[in-house]
Amino acid sequence: MTTTIDIRDLPARLEEAIAVASAGGEVTLTDGVVARARLVAIQPAAATRRVPGLHAGRITASDDFDAPLPDEFWNGRE
């Protein structure tokens, strides 16, 4: 379900826009006839929850990870 709302009407129709998006719909915000933005619901936190240890050992840091960087780096002369 897609609903179109002009941005000039948005303050008066904000609750409607949020209700449509929350119900799984989409709200297209327009400036006259030009589409400017799309409002959709965010995914629930449970669906995007991080899993500790999921990729254990896939990323490693070099031994000199926290060593100071040389002056050439900071001066832009690598």
- Domain with 7, as residue range(s), is 1-31
- Name the domain count of the chain: 1
Query: Both tokens of residue 52?
Result: 């500790």
Give domain status of residue 61, yes or no.
no
pLDDT tens-digit readout, 31-68: 999 999 999 998 776 666 778 888 888 988 899 999 99
Q: Assign 34 to helix, strand or coil.
A: strand
Q: Say if 25 falls within a structural domain.
A: yes
18: confidence class by pLDDT, cuts 50, 70, 90: very high
Q: What does pTM read for this prediction?
A: 0.55
Contact 1, 25 (CB under 8 A): yes
Region 20-38: mean pLDDT is: 95
Tokens 């379900």 sit at which residue?
A: 1
